[in-house]
A and B are shown apart, each in its own frame.
Chain A
Amino acid sequence: MTQERFAERHIGTDAPSQYTMLATLGYASVDDLVRAAVPRAIHLENFRARGGSPLPPAATETEALAELRELAARNTVRRSMIGLGYYGTVTPAVITRNVLENPSWYTAYTPYQPEISQGRLEALLNFQTMVTDLTGLGTANASMLDEGTAVVEAMLLARRASPVKTPVFIVDTDALPQTKALLAARAEPLGITVLERDLAAIADTGAAELPEAFGVFVQYPAASGRVWNPASVIAAVREARGIAVVAADLLALTLMTSPGELGADVAVGTSQRFGVPLGFGGPHAGYLAVRAGLERQMPGRLVGVSVDADGNPAYRLTLQVREQHIRREKATSNICTAQVLLAVMASMYAVYHGPTGLRRIAERVAASTAALAAALTAAGVEVVHSAVFDTLQVRVPGRASAIVTAAHEAGINLWPISGDVVQLSVDETTTAEELARVAVCFGVSGGIVGVPGEWPLPPGLARTSAYLTHPVFNTHHSETAMMRYLKRLADKDYALDRGMIPLGSCTMKLNAASEMEAVTWPEFAALHPFAPESDVAGSLELITQLERWLTELTGYDTVSLQPNAGSQGELAGLLAIRGYHRANGAADRTVCLIPSSAHGTNAASAVLAGMRVVVVACDAAGNVDLDDLRAKITQHAATLAALMITYPSTHGVYEHEVVAITEAVHEAGGQVYVDGANLNALLGYARFGDFGGDVSHLNLHKTFCIPHGGGGPGVGPVAAKAHLAPFLPGHPLAQRNAHPARTADGGAGMIEHGGTPVSAAPFGSPSILPISWAYIRMMGEAGLVEATGAAVLAANYIAARLRDHYPVLYTGDAGLVAHECILDLRPLKEATGITVDDVAKRLIDYGFHAPTMSFPVAGTLMVEPTESEDLAELDRFIEAMISIRAEADAVAAGAFPADDNPLVAAPHTAHALIAGEWSHAYTREQAAYPVPTIVRNKYWVPVRRIDQAYGDRNLFCSCPPPEAFA
């Protein structure tokens, strides 16, 4: 921590470095450079005086943390017994310190380069194995954004997979309220009817008479805590060729028959109570598992086992063709960012406790619940359901409110179901003293101690099958073993703590330690998402401030922080546009124009918002083809809902004609969605709201420093003009749905977000919002402007230095790029036979994470250095790329055979270099130490190039047996 200006810590290039870089480019100042690159028509000062921002001036790290302490102190942490899918849990300190607070885990990217991601891929495979074992199903993904949206994804999966054409989905009455709200919200635009039925009653009658439906959803145990056997309902649904979806509590499944054994097709839920703090709602990892035969219908990321070039087992993401970046509007889902860091934590909780430990925890929870129920019943207080796991409904006619208030005063939050019924949930952290304190609130005194093993389970539901039998769950139970396992995995991976990750469109910038500091403070981490408003005043104030700042920085009127990822922000924004058109009597406006260069997520999100995608062409310079845009607008004038445009474009260029584009859409009655994925190139220089945007999503995990966590968490706020506010995400259980808004006269007011939810929790993932709050607070407007400038300078410097070796595919005004540049490797392949894959894998030997491969143009690399890299690291990357070009030229010149050279054989493991005779056309030194700078700083890749096709053809998605590595 320091008292110095934080911007100078965040930005990698100092003034002398920037002077050198500017000299290369021929500009006098960073500001001159950016102003030359950004079209004049959209410059901020056309709309507002520069420096006239209401953002507070930059705080030092010490000052910002002191302010965060004050906000934290305004929260009151009470013991939450609210339950409803969110439970107290003990995060083992060895996991907090070695995963959550360890940059080797939290600064990694999504494992798209599998050779340098084996550690977290193994952790995710552990997660998948944990979920498949506990749910009794064949394949689990890694991971979903939360339980509520996982149920939605399961509903959509059921619709794809079931032959039943009737667009009806049946939901059990006794499901979580936030899940029911999400199902209703997401079903409506897709023409799905959600029917609520009391399925437990239907199961009781034995009739199992159900309306025709493509699927059915059961909560297990039910939201009320009741445990009932859904097997007959599941059988009836499957008999009628529908898909049975069960949301199951993973801890309960250590004691109860698994959904797979009950006949379910799909199981979903959350892994939150496996050691991930409540965090006022998130982030947590949801899960989704399917029976055999449904793998290709799964949404989200799936880790599988393949082999590397030496035939050794190696992990990779599998079946990626399901996903939105390839299949676009035909994808299984729009989700891309998952909850990797949280899935890793949950999996490690299972690794650390093992099957015996988890079962012990579950037995303690169940026994405590049973003991409390017995004490209440003995005292004449009615407990509604006798067969329960961890949750009780207590009937207290007319006294529910008084009891909840008394408990609140006693430091415990209970949940009022009605004026007559109170609900409470026991968890891993609940003590005997707390149980006694709760009982007193119901007028019952005396000690309450659960006896493990003594709890009432309905006949036939006791778990008899084994789980977590793989050695990984039965080995690392001492802290020493656990610490070393986590270290061993982290050592295999390449994260920002090793070097630059120049992934275009991903913005892998610094995630400062001071920004991360508050995440684990209990005042932020231990709050239940539905805690009373008075308990969470500090968090709500932090959210209010952050919303105001983001509103100001983007030129919009209001912001919702609810979406848990960029994809969900897109969906929220498009749903807002849909709601707006419908409210104006224009329900037939359903066409969404999307440029061909757009990220596939745009198209997938549009479909989920009930829209029809029409693709707009790009011209030879990579810009939206204005003639084609106008033609498409004319063709669809009456049905035009929106245009989705990314700015600067996915080609890394500030499109000159953006104002003409947004005006053309508005003239035709359409709304403009500006995808904020590339906001890091614009912040402080131009604002989406000023140049025609009606709504945007931002990625706090890109521009605003939330770490990527190896593929999540993310936060994808949606920012909009006031006319869309009534359709932005609201939430039925929110403490408040009023949000800060810029009023017409530029003042600060409040506005209601009246739309349907897109996340299970009202504020999405609040526990990581202090990161972005701290970033903005410590940078101030001036610092953010400098960061943008440094990012644009770095990208242009790389473009200029590499242009003679690899053509830069697209440039904008003055021949400049924005914050990233596309290097065209197709001429290299033509000339030398060396592919973009070869270059990406060879960069590993040089100690680098490859840039983005073949997006948005096949056969190219997109480089985004960000502002946080210093000149030495930029130059090291440039040196590597130039050296690789020389190696490729040597192949073309015949110095190396086409099938035996350092590029096609990359990456090289230490083992590959020393095992047996070396009989290649290049030396070991050339393989491992192509440039002298890495001799003392070598990153050794753990596996060789991974066979992608083998893994897809031989699907295997759980932990391989240890013999596989012999």
Chain B
Amino acid sequence: MPVPENLTYTSEHEWLLIDGDTATVGITNYAADQLGDVVFVELPEVDDAMIAGAVVGEIESTKSVGELLAPANGSILESNRAVAESPELVNSDPFGAGWLVRVRLDAAPEGLLSAAEYDALVGE
């Protein structure tokens, strides 16, 4: 299934909804499928600093663990409490209610992919 057109993507299977110098970040349906049933999500604290490429969170399934990587330098504005309570949202609605963090971006993230480019990456 093609990914939403209105988002941008990273080669690490994260999506971003960029709005000025802030962005909402989650993992793609492909990443969620690869992980399997997500059972626990560990997200950063508000105001935590983030460094591009560094691990800011973890997404655990029953048999694997995925890392949430910071898309750029910046800081954490909000972590999705609903996902912490109901980690299965990452599987059921990865592009919507399963979002993970809202961040402030110090600079525009580099190397982002369009929806078409991301689809090509995962072979859609």
* A residues apposed to B, CB below 8 Å: 296, 320-321, 326-327, 854, 948-949, 952-953
Contact = CB atoms under 8 A, between A and B. Distances in A.
B65 A326 contact: yes
B40 A949 contact: no
Given A296-B40, A949-B37, A952-B40, A321 B61 contact: yes
A321 B40 CA distance: 10
Interface string B43-87: 000000000000000001111110000000000000000000001
Contacts of A952: 37, 39-40, 60, 62
B88 interface: yes
B91 to A, nearest CB: 9
Contacts of A296: 40
A326 B37 contact: no
A407 B36 CA distance: 63
Contacts of B37: 948-949, 952
Given A949-B36, A953-B40, 20 more contacts: A296-B40, A321-B60, A321-B61, A321-B62, A321-B63, A321-B64, A321-B65, A326-B63, A326-B65, A948-B37, A948-B63, A949-B37, A949-B38, A949-B39, A949-B62, A952-B37, A952-B39, A952-B60, A953-B39, A953-B87
Closest 3 CB pairs of A and B: A949-B37, A952-B39, A948-B62
Contacts of A854: 63
A320 B40 CA distance: 12
Contacts of A949: 36-39, 61-62, 88
Given A296-B40, A952-B39, A320 B63 contact: yes
22 contacts: A320-B62, A321-B60, A321-B61, A321-B62, A321-B65, A326-B64, A854-B63, A948-B37, A948-B63, A949-B36, A949-B37, A949-B38, A949-B61, A949-B62, A949-B88, A952-B37, A952-B39, A952-B40, A952-B62, A953-B39, A953-B87, A953-B88
Among B36, B39, B40, find the residue whose CB has the most chain A CB atoms closer than 10 A: B39
Interface of B: 36-40, 60-65, 87-88
A127 B107 CA distance: 53
A331 to B, nearest CB: 10
B17 to A, nearest CB: 27
B65 A327 contact: yes
A112 to B, nearest CB: 11
Contacts of B40: 296, 321, 952-953
Among B62, B64, B65, B87, find the residue whose CB has the most chain A CB atoms closer than 10 A: B62
Nearest to B38: A949
A948 B60 CA distance: 12
A321 B87 CA distance: 15
Nearest to B36: A949
A854 B87 CA distance: 24
Contacts of B65: 321, 326-327
A447 B39 CA distance: 62
Contacts of A326: 63-65
Contacts of A953: 39-40, 87-88
Nearest to A330: B65
B47 to A, nearest CB: 16
A953 B86 CA distance: 8
B38 to A, nearest CB: 8
B87 to A, nearest CB: 7
Contacts of A320: 62-63
A715 B61 CA distance: 31
Among A320, A854, A949, find the residue whose CB has the most chain B CB atoms closer than 10 A: A949
A321 B36 CA distance: 12
Contacts of B64: 321, 326
A302 to B, nearest CB: 13
A633 B38 CA distance: 38
A906 B63 CA distance: 20
A174 B101 CA distance: 48
A949 B87 CA distance: 10
A826 to B, nearest CB: 14
A854 B65 CA distance: 15
A130 to B, nearest CB: 27
A952 B38 CA distance: 9
B89 to A, nearest CB: 12
A952 B37 CA distance: 10
A326 B61 CA distance: 11
A952 B60 CA distance: 10
A296 B60 CA distance: 11
A334 to B, nearest CB: 17
Nearest to B40: A952
Contacts of A948: 37, 62-63
A321 B38 CA distance: 11
Nearest to A854: B63
A262 to B, nearest CB: 29
Contacts of B38: 949
A128 B11 CA distance: 43
A948 B36 CA distance: 11
A860 to B, nearest CB: 14
Contacts of B39: 949, 952-953
A168 B37 CA distance: 38
A247 B78 CA distance: 40
A901 B88 CA distance: 26
Nearest to A948: B62
B43 to A, nearest CB: 14
A598 B64 CA distance: 17
Contacts of B36: 949
A325 B65 CA distance: 12
Nearest to B87: A953
A111 to B, nearest CB: 15
A949 B64 CA distance: 12
Contacts of B87: 953
Nearest to A947: B37
A152 to B, nearest CB: 24
B67 to A, nearest CB: 9
A327 B61 CA distance: 12
Nearest to A306: B62
A952 B40 CA distance: 8
A327 B67 CA distance: 11
Nearest to A325: B63
A854 B64 CA distance: 12
